A and B are shown apart, each in its own frame.
Chain A
Amino acid sequence: MAAALAVAGVLFAKRALFLWRLVRKAKPTERFDDIPGRVENEVTIVLGQKKLFQRLLPGVMHALIFWGFIVLLPTIVMALVGAVNRDWSFPWLGAQGWFMALVDVFILSVLTGIVMAVWIRKVVRPRRFDGSHLGEADLILALIALVVLTLLGWHASRIAAGMNEWPAGASFLSNWVSGAIPFPRVSERFFNWAHVLVILTFLVYLPYSKHLHIATAAINVFFSRTRNRGRLEPLRFDVPDDEMRLGVNTIEQLTWKEMVDSFSCTECGRCQDVCPAYNTGELQPIVGNGVPEEMVWDCVTCGACVHECPVSIEHIDHIVDLRRDLVMMQSSFPQEAESMLRDVERIGNPWGKPQGDRASWAEDLGVRVLEEGEEPPEILYWVGCAAAYDERARVAAESTVKLLQKAGVDFAILGARESCTGDPARRMGNEYVFQAYAEQNVATLNDARVTKIVASCPHCLNSLGKEYPDFGGQYEVMHHTQLLAELVRDGMLSPARGESEITYHDSCYLARHNDVRDEPRELVAAVGKPVEMPRNGKRTFCCGAGGAHMWMEERGTPINEERVREASETGAETLAVACPFCTVMLDDGVRSMGKQLRVVDVSTLLVESMED
């Protein structure tokens, strides 16, 4: 026994030490804030299996096995000591009938879970397993089955041999099996040792396999983002050269959270199952691959994978860190994005339009442009480059302005003093340019004594609200749909409800990264009949423009057409949006597919409902 323990212990410790050293060598990241939020995640995501239950059947399967093993933990100790001293009994607990009944319940639940898992893997065979190490999974399932079957055999033998300290009747399953046990005292030894050896084998195999998640997932969940999900961690340029990190090129450049991410993956494939790029045929499987360079550029940073991942891996951090290295260190990125990066850097918007034309859309609308030194308005309307320069996106800004004026809101725009927030550059990996704009915009906003901002563009909203605090900008930032919903609730705006069916497309940066889902729906319900698409809310499907993809070419089936197909299948006449990039992408998709859908911003629907 001591020898078996020692061998297993040393083999396990050797590998565990190796992994621990990798984590120690990794780069720092701040993950110790918001402890209550972290504990809450631990309770809901780990103990409650919340993210696993996003898919019912696999969720139930996993929960049966997971909860089973929590209860079965004391039996491991019982078996380890029992192998050396067959007469030993776990103090108190070992004699409790209710506990042994519980053990049998969970043996049954684990076995049910395994049957379900085998059924999912061998019969259902979902596409999400493409690329996954399937043989390894089979071995792991077999080991789990052996763990509980040997436990069952051991308990049954003890009952058959009359060695049970607990009332035999309580263990309904073991008691039933005990009738079939030959040579009870020999079997008792056999199953006890078999159980112990299977567990020790598993222990050694664990850190070399994708099953390592049973040790690391709980840690990974604890250190995952609890708030500010849309925020990317800023790179520090003011530190000594040897501490400076400009993205990721080698494994030592990962942050320790990214390192633990990589230890936690079980290759369940849920990430690729929801990935817009993968699903429109642009990618090789995410699972089971290193990250080829083209995969790095196919990502739209929509966050569907992050939301889906049961062990809270934060894929976007990895993708953006890889991009940062490619852009800032190697200057290697899709050529067509070059002009966007250059124009953001030199002119302050991604299309290279003159800065002086920024407020020309508002010229005839009587909008106050906040000049230097003037008293700040109650709310600053941050227009964003898209609404300022793009004819289709501009409609939403015009509608928003009309509604704010109608409701008597005290607001102003910055005009030519506004510039790109730097978001597309940051998502492309050019952190230098982003930080230059963050500092410049924060200086402008702070000088203007702005406290409250309403933004039309979810990408601006994310930068202003979630990322600018890192650069000294603390503002209350809301989306125009949030402000408009508030005005409707307060009776400042009175839309008339129409009969037309409207399906609302959630923008990733609004619904997933910033938790704005209800207010746009309130507005849609106020003007028409809402119809939901299958993928909605937190599990929305990207329009294809995120992560600077507005300025890159796409491979495979266009993502926007996939989304338009889904929208048109609802039968709605109107596809409501709340993001300028979704507006352009989906309108392009409707045109190229020849659909009869009207793509329109929620604010414009509101204006129309209040006309005449």
Chain B
Amino acid sequence: MSVALFFEANDELSAQALTLAQSLGEVRAFSFEGPYAPAAWASALIDAAGDDDIVGPGSERGNEVLAHVAAQLDLPFAANVTDVRGDEVTRQRWGGTLLEEARIHAPRKLLTAAPFAFAPSDSLLQAETLRPDVSGAVQVTEHIAPDTGGKVSLADAKVVVSGGRGVGSSEGFAILEELAALLDGAVGCSRVVTSAGWRPHTDQVGQTGTKVSPDLYIACGISGATQHIAGCKGAKKVLAINADPEATIFAHADYAVVGDLHEVVPAITAELKKVKG
């Protein structure tokens, strides 16, 4: 019994899918060249696979191509499978919060391997390259990254310097901007700040704003309401600067400075400049 593998790339997820495929039979792997066109790739994969089971990685492309395969063959598809026993599978549902036992009622299996559910296979594999005709098919022609105006985006920044009511005005953010620039970071703010119109809503960190997960989150003059913490709880380290020693932000902070941010922030900036030379 042989198995066709959608081999997306020489990456971790494809190597994990290979482990799953090898547990089902002898593997023939297929990789693709040319622009990404899921429906056209699926047709080519179907032609190449014959009557074999088809396995793919649990990546976005793997799941999308296999879904097209299933639709074109009118067969059931089990995505993000963690275990296969005959025609029974265990698969992840609801973003991985549930495991579901399911039986596949079909002459052949269409599966993707749940990410990190299988050890990556270390066997060397010769993948056959397919070059499907994508003319007329829906295809990805261009990737457009969001315009961040040349700055580090808030969601991706390794350092976020965030200001709250304590900053006092939109001009007050200049010292935060300076510190952020020095650390290749981004400037964030709390809801109070956007409500007051000091910063745009795109800068808001919190429950109803951007969720950030930087290595360092510097909270300046932020009291630390639950709604705000919900947006920065992914931070590895939190440095809180606040004049009020009772502020709740200190309960969430790894490092704390009780003091006026208008003095503390410029002092940090000055020290950093000294160190950086």
- Tell me which of B95, B201, B209, B230 contacts A352 (CB under 8 A): B230
**B89, chain A: closest CB distance, angstroms:** 22
Contact B225 A584 (CB under 8 A): yes
- Are the CB atoms of B208 and A552 closer together than 8 Å? yes
Q: Which of B192, B211, B224, B233 contacts A591 (CB 8 A)?
A: B192
Contacts of A336 in B (CB 8 A): 207-209
B195 pairs with A592, CB closer than 8 A = yes
| A346-B94 contact in complex given A352-B233, A391-B226, C-beta closer than 8 Å | yes
CA distance A127 to B230 in the complex (A): 40
Contact of A345 with B by CB under 8 A: yes
Q: Which residues of A contact B224 (CB under 8 A)?
A: 391
**On chain A, which size bracket covers the interface?**
20 to 34
A339 within 8 A of partner (CB) = yes
Question: Shortest distance in angstroms between A386's beta carbon and chain B's nearest beta carbon?
Answer: 8
CB distance from B61 to the nearest CB of A (A): 22
A337, A339, A350, A391: the one contacting B248 at CB < 8 Å is: A391
Q: Is B10 an interface residue (CB 8 A)?
A: no
Q: How far does the alpha carbon of A345 sit from the alpha carbon of B230 in the complex, in Å? A: 16
- Which of A340, A391, A551, A584 makes the CB contact (< 8 A) with B251? A391
Does B237 make an interface contact (CB < 8 A)?
A: no
Q: Are B196 and A339 in contact (CB under 8 A)?
A: no
A352-B233, A390-B226, A391-B251 as given contacts; A592 in contact with B196, CB under 8 Å: yes
- Across the interface, which residues of B come within 8 angstroms of A345, CB to CB? 94
Contact of B207 among A393, A551, A591 (CB under 8 A): A551
Contacts of B233 in A (CB 8 A): 352-353
Q: Whole-angstrom distance between the alpha carbons of A393 and B248 in the complex?
A: 12
A551: B residues at CB distance < 8 A: 207-208
In the complex, which residues of chain A have a beta carbon less than 8 angstroms from the beta carbon of B227?
A: 351, 550, 584
Complex CA gap A350/B206 in Å reads 13
Assess whether A389 is interfacial by the CB under 8 Å rule.
yes
Task: Determine if A558 is an interface residue (Cβ-Cβ < 8 Å).
Answer: yes
Please indicate the chain B residues that have their CB under 8 angstroms from the CB of A352 in the complex: 230, 233
Within 8 A of B (CB), among A153-184: none
> A513 to chain B: closest CB distance in Å?
24
Contact with B along A552-569 (1 / 0, CB 8 A): 110000100000000000
Contact code string B218-230 (vs A, CB < 8 Å = 1, else 0):
0000011111011
Residue among A336, A386, A558 facing the most chain B CB atoms (10 A cut-off)? A336
**Central interface residue in A551, A552, A553, by most chain B CB within 10 Å:** A553
B97 within 8 A of A: yes
The verdict on A588 contacting chain B, using a C-beta distance below 8 Å, is yes
Residues of the A chain whose Cβ atoms lie less than 8 Å from the Cβ of B248:
391-392
With both chains docked as a complex, state the minimum distance between the C-beta of B236 and any C-beta of chain A, in angstroms. Answer: 17
Binary contact readout A336-371 vs B (1 if CB under 8 angstroms, 0 otherwise):
110110000110001111000000000000000000
**Nearest Cβ distance between residue A556 and chain B, in whole angstroms?**
11
Interface string of A128-142 (1 = CB under 8 A from B): 000000000000000
Q: Which interface class (under 10, 10 to 19, 20 to 34, 35 or more) fits B?
A: 20 to 34
User: How far, in whole Å, are A56 and B221 apart by their CA atoms in the complex?
Assistant: 50
Assess the A351–B207 pair: CB atoms within 8 A: yes
Asked whether, in the complex, the Cβ of A340 is within 8 Å of the Cβ of B207, the reply is: yes
Question: Which residues of chain B have C-beta atoms less than 8 A from A550's C-beta?
Answer: 227
Listed residue (B196, B201, B208, B248) with the most chain A CB atoms within 10 angstroms of its CB: B208
Given A346-B97, A352-B233, A588-B225, A553-B192 contact (CB < 8 Å): no
B165 contacts partner chain A, Cβ-Cβ < 8 Å = yes
Contact A351 B225 (CB under 8 A): no
Whole-angstrom CA separation of A584 from B207 in the bound complex:
14
Give complex CA distance A473, B35 in Å.
56
Q: Across the interface, which residues of A come within 8 angstroms of B192, CB to CB?
A: 588, 591-592
| Closest chain A residue, CB of each to CB of B229 | A351
- The smallest beta-carbon distance between A209 and chain B, in angstroms, is 43
Give every chain A residue within 8 A of B94 (Cβ-Cβ). 345-346
Q: Are A392 and B225 in contact (CB under 8 A)?
A: yes
Q: Which residues from chain B contact A558 at a C-beta distance below 8 Å? A: 195
Task: Give A339 to B227 CA distance when docked, in angstroms.
Answer: 12
Report how far A353 CA is from B226 CA in the complex, Å.
10
Find A346's partner among B95, B165, B226 (CB 8 Å cutoff): B95
Q: Which residues of B contact A346 (CB under 8 A)?
A: 94-95, 97
Binary contact readout A590-611 vs B (1 if CB under 8 angstroms, 0 otherwise): 0110000000000000000000
How far is A389 from B229 in the complex, measured between Cα atoms in Å?
Answer: 11
In the complex where A346-B95, A588-B192 touch, is A339 in contact with B207 (Cβ < 8 A)?
yes
Give A584 to B224 CA distance when docked, in angstroms. 12
Query: Contacts of B209 on A, CB cut-off 8 Å?
Result: 336
Q: A345-B94, A592-B196 are in contact. Are A553 and B208 (CB under 8 A)?
A: yes
A552 contacts across to B, CB distance below 8 A:
208
B146 nearest CB across to chain A (Å): 14
Chain B contacts with A in 85-126, Cβ cutoff 8 A? 94-95, 97
Chain B proximity mask over A377-419: 1 for CB below 8 Å, otherwise 0: 0000000001001111100000000000000000000000000
Q: Are B226 and A389 in contact (CB under 8 A)?
A: yes
With contacts A553-B208, A558-B195 taken as known, whether A351 is within 8 angstroms of B230 at the C-beta atoms is yes
A-side contacts of B225, CB under 8 Å = 390-392, 584, 588
Shortest distance from the beta carbon of B229 to any chain A beta carbon, whole Å: 8
Q: CB within 8 A of B226: which of A337, A339, A351, A592?
A: A351
Expressed in whole angstroms, the Cα–Cα distance for A412 and B229 within the complex equals 29
> When chains A and B are docked, how far (Å) is the Cα of A327 from the Cα of B227?
23
B201 touches A339 (CB 8 A): no
B126 → chain A closest CB, angstroms: 41
Flag B229-244 by CB within 8 Å of A: 1 or 0 each. 1100100000000000
Q: For residue A337, which residues in chain B have a CB less than 8 angstroms away from its CB?
A: 208
**Residue in B closest to A347 when the chains form the complex, CB atoms:** B97
| Nearest-Cβ distance from residue B248 to partner chain A, whole angstroms | 4
Q: How far is the CA of A584 from the CA of B226 in the complex (A)?
A: 9
The answer to whether residues A339 and B230 also contact, given A346-B95, A346-B97 and a CB cut-off of 8 A, is: yes
Give Cα A336 to B94, complex, Å: 20
Mask: chain B, 186-210; 1 = CB below 8 Å from A; 0 = not: 0000001001100001000001110
Q: In the complex, A250 Cα to B195 Cα: how many Å?
A: 36
With a cutoff of 8 Å between Cβ atoms, the chain B residues found around residue A393 in the complex are: 226
Instruction: Identify the interface centre among B196, B201, B211, B227: most chain A CB within 10 Å of its CB.
Output: B227
The smallest C-beta distance from B77 to any residue of chain A, in angstroms, reads 21
A390 to B223, CA, bound (A): 13
User: How far in angstroms is the closest Cβ of chain B from A163?
Assistant: 74
Residues of B near A592 (CB, < 8 A) are 165, 192, 195-196
Give Cα A339–Cα B225 distance, bound, in whole angstroms.
17
Which residues from A are CB-within-8-Å of B229?
351
Question: Cβ of B201 and Cβ of A553 under 8 Å apart?
Answer: yes
Residue of A nearest to B96 (CB): A346
Q: What is the bound-complex CA distance between A157 and B29, given in angstroms?
A: 103
Neighbouring A residues of B201 by C-beta, 8 Å: 553
State the CA gap A592–B165 with chains docked (Å): 8
Closest to A385 in B: B226
Give the contacts of B132-183 with A (CB-CB under 8 A): 165
Q: Which residues of B contact A339 (CB under 8 A)?
A: 207, 211, 230
**Counting chain B CB atoms within 10 Å of each CB, which of A351, A392, A558 scores highest?**
A351
24 A-B contact pairs sorted by A residue (CB < 8 Å) = A336-B207, A337-B208, A339-B207, A339-B211, A340-B207, A345-B94, A351-B226, A351-B227, A352-B233, A353-B233, A390-B226, A391-B224, A391-B225, A391-B226, A391-B248, A391-B251, A392-B225, A392-B248, A551-B207, A551-B208, A558-B195, A584-B225, A588-B192, A591-B165
The 4 closest A-B pairs by CB, nearest first: A336-B208, A390-B226, A391-B248, A351-B230
Extra contacts besides A345-B94, A351-B230, A553-B201 (17): CB < 8 Å? A339-B230, A346-B97, A351-B229, A352-B233, A391-B251, A392-B226, A392-B248, A393-B226, A550-B227, A551-B208, A552-B208, A558-B195, A584-B225, A584-B227, A592-B192, A592-B195, A592-B196
B positions within 8 Å CB-CB of A: 94-95, 97, 165, 192, 195-196, 201, 207-209, 211, 223-227, 229-230, 233, 248, 251
